[in-house]
Amino acid sequence: MTKAKASARKSGGSDESRLRSAVIETARAMSDSGLSPGRSGNVSARFEDGMLITPTGLAYADIRPKDIVYVSGDGTVPGKQKTPSSEWQFHLSAYEARPDMSAVVHTHSLHAVVLSCAGRPIPAFHYMVAVAGGADIPLVPYATFGSAELAAHVAAGLAERRACLMAHHGAIAVGETLTDALALAHEVEVLAEQYVKLLTLGEPAMLPDGEMAVVLERFKTYGQQRPDAD
């Protein structure tokens, strides 16, 4: 890191300050909505060659912009900062796996956790599963929280998806912006709840791969208008 960059970070450049505040707002929205209870879950945003991430051990209501931790791309935490979230490794691995994404939201949302503990991914029971970028929302294997092994599993799970479940843990969603990542995390929890409730009636029918391919193609322009549309 150059002296100029270090000085800018210490004084809080305007772009960095806005991003720090946005990380806090996203984390508080995640918590306040019940998407991740208590101090569980974590949020980060890509910044420079690394990321800005929520610190460990602080209630979201108490976090201030100066508490958000900059972790460089090599995993080091320069300067005198708070300790980053214990899950910082899988946040970095998510950015490495998805260079097109700039935000990560990790939750312990109720129904996503239920499925993750039952060893179940979210299959194509509903076409909205395609919102995560594929025909399912995969479940990656269990590994101890905060470990390099879990980070590797997450990277594999997100290689071709924007969300995945982590066995006996929770869910992770990525987006081009913090708003996108949080919205996807909410959508994953809605789908998880629907699937859990369906399972009480028995194994539901699944949409065929061909139909999911059609849906995924349509999702490329989902919610967008043509420039010449009235």
Query: Which CATH architecture group holds 3-219?
Result: 3-Layer(aba) Sandwich (3.40)
- Model pLDDT, residue 228: 45
d(CA 67, CA 10): 12
Mean pLDDT of 139-144: 98
CB 53 within 8 A of CB 61: no
Average pLDDT of the residues in 36-62: 94
Beta strands in the chain (DSSP E): 42-47, 50-53, 69-71, 103-107, 139-140, 163-166, 170-175
Q: What is the pTM of this model?
A: 0.90
Q: What is the pLDDT of residue 9?
A: 55
First and final C-alpha spacing in the chain: 49
DSSP strand pairing (103-107 vs 139-140): unpaired
Sheet of 170-175: strand order equals: 69-71, 50-53, 42-47, 103-107, 170-175, 163-166, 139-140
How far, in Å, CA of 181 to CA of 133, rounded?
A: 13
Q: What would the two tokens of residue 5 be?
A: 């960059």
Q: What is the CA radius of gyration of the chain?
A: 18
Percent of the chain at pLDDT above 90?
87
> β-strand 163-166 against 139-140: which pairing, if any?
parallel
- Average pLDDT value for residue range 173-177: 98
CB 130 within 8 A of CB 137: no
- Farthest CA pair distance, the chain: 62
Cα dihedral 70/81/28/98 (nearest 10): 20
Q: Is 96 a catalytic residue?
A: no
Cβ atoms of 165 and 153 closer than 8 Å = no
Number of residues that make up the chain: 230
Would you place residue 139 in the very low, low, confident or very high pLDDT band (cuts 50, 70, 90)?
A: very high
52-85: per-residue pLDDT in tens?
Answer: 999 998 999 999 999 999 999 999 999 999 999 9
| Mean pLDDT of the region 188-212 | 97
What pLDDT, on a 0 to 100 scale, did the predictor assign at position 64? 96
Q: Active site residue: 16, 25, 48, 87, which one?
A: 87
